[in-house]
Structure 1
Amino acid sequence: MKKKSGFTLIEMLIVMMVIVILLLLIIPNVNQHIAGLQSKGCDAYMEVVQAQVESYRLQHNATPSIERLVSDGYIKSATCQDGKALSIDSEGKVEKE
């Protein structure tokens, strides 16, 4: 009688369990990492918008609204990539709403 080489059902189940456990450990860390990157991206975009506020002030001697910056082409969007809206206070400081 020849011995057939191959994997048994038990061996396949063990491999599947190991893969599932690894995925359960990796997926939450990826989600946390993505959230952190989005937050940093929003902070960087806020700095760009703040620079555009200063540019507008120098050219027009007035503090713009976020809508004015978008309509005049200083910035492309009034929101961060994570969907949070930006606003400009009366002193010209950019803030998340």
Structure 2
Amino acid sequence: MQNQKGFTLMELMVVMVIIGILIGIAVPSYNKVTATAEKRACEANKRTIKGAVQAYILENNGSIENNELDIAELDSFFDGGEVPQMHFS
């Protein structure tokens, strides 16, 4: 029985603690990066929509009738033909 190969319980526990510490560091960093990416995507979408509204106004004699604009009317002003959407998880 002296020549059995394998890991001791203590070795396995140390590995589990190290993995837990690494996960504890990685998850908050990942969440921060994800939140920053979502914020930047929203800012880019706002700039794109602003540009489309300006193009719409220029093509419609410098005004928006009744101060209302149906978002579907802007589709032709976007690459791909539709207004960008932001989906949050």
Q: How many residues align structurally?
A: 80
Q: Residues 23-42 of structure 1: matches in 2 within 5 Å?
A: 23-42=23-42
Q: Percent identity?
A: 25
Give the number of the structure whose residues are more often strand, by fraction.
Answer: 1
Greater relative contact order (Cα < 8 A, sep 6+): 2
Shift of 1:80: 3.9
Q: Point out where structure 1 has 5 or more consecutive residues left out of the alignment.
A: 84-97
Give the number of the structure whose residues are more often helix, by fraction.
Answer: 2
Q: Residues 39-50 of structure 1: matches in 2 within 5 Å?
A: 39-50=39-50
TM-score with structure 1 setting the length: 0.70
Shift of 1:81: 3.8
Runs of 4+ in 1 over 3 A off after TM superposition: 79-83
How many angstroms apart in 2 are the aligned matches of 1:7 and 1:25?
26
How many angstroms apart in 1 are the aligned matches of 2:39 and 2:5?
52
Provide the secondary structure at the position in 2 that maps to 1:72.
helix
TM-score with structure 2 setting the length: 0.75
Question: Cα RMSD over matched residues?
Answer: 2.3
